[in-house]
Amino acid sequence: MKIMSGRTTPSLLLVVGLLGGCSSKSEQFQPVKGKVLVGGQPIKCGGGAVILVADASKGNTTQHEPRGALSADGDFEIMTIGQAGAPPGWYKVVVMAQDPASASNPYAPPKYIVTPEYLSADRTPLSIEVVAKPAPDAYKLEVKEVQKK
């Protein structure tokens, strides 16, 4: 292709830029902010993550695995490929909440304070539906803690 004038070059760059930045409607993300609770109270942890795994049995076919950092008081905000939110649909929810003492040692393996079923998408009892207008408590997640010895 031969570019004849300086005016064509910016137009060509604009078209290439728009094509590179396109996303399909299935890639529109809905905000997902919530809180992890134990016994109705915010979990106290040393951080961790909340991971959403598409639930194909309920029609969610996204290839994304949205996730968000879990704060010390149980708050989280889900991100997908660097953008806030997640594609709409049903998800199984994995919660990895670390023991505050083990989180302070970067060389020790993580010690989780939630019971094991929350650590795996295959076993978690938690699920949410990401929608444009969720109910006020739609993203509050009640978990069980490992019994302290």
Q: Per residue in 77-107, pLDDT tens?
A: 999 999 999 999 999 999 999 998 887 888 8
Q: Please give the angle made by the CA atoms of 29, 32 and 34, to the nearest 5 degrees.
A: 175
Mean pLDDT confidence for 5-31: 49
Range in 22-31, 55-64, 91-100, 113-122 the model is least confident about: 22-31
Helix, strand, coil shares of the chain, percent, nearest 5, are 20, 35, 50
Dihedral, CA of residue 31, residue 61, residue 57 and residue 43, to nearest 10: -30
Give me the CATH topology for the region 24-143.
Immunoglobulin-like (2.60.40)
Dist. CA 61–CA 89, nearest whole Å: 9
Buried b (16+ CB within 10 A) or exposed e, 39-49: eeeebebbebe
In the block, which residue shows the tokens 């019971």? 115
pLDDT at 38 over 70: yes
pLDDT, position 92 = 98
pLDDT at 113: 94
User: CA-CA distances (angstroms) from residue 117 to 36, 42, 44, 69, 139?
Assistant: 15, 19, 19, 19, 18
Matching residue, tokens 């292709």: 1
pTM for the model: 0.80
- Pairing state between β 33-38 and 75-77: antiparallel
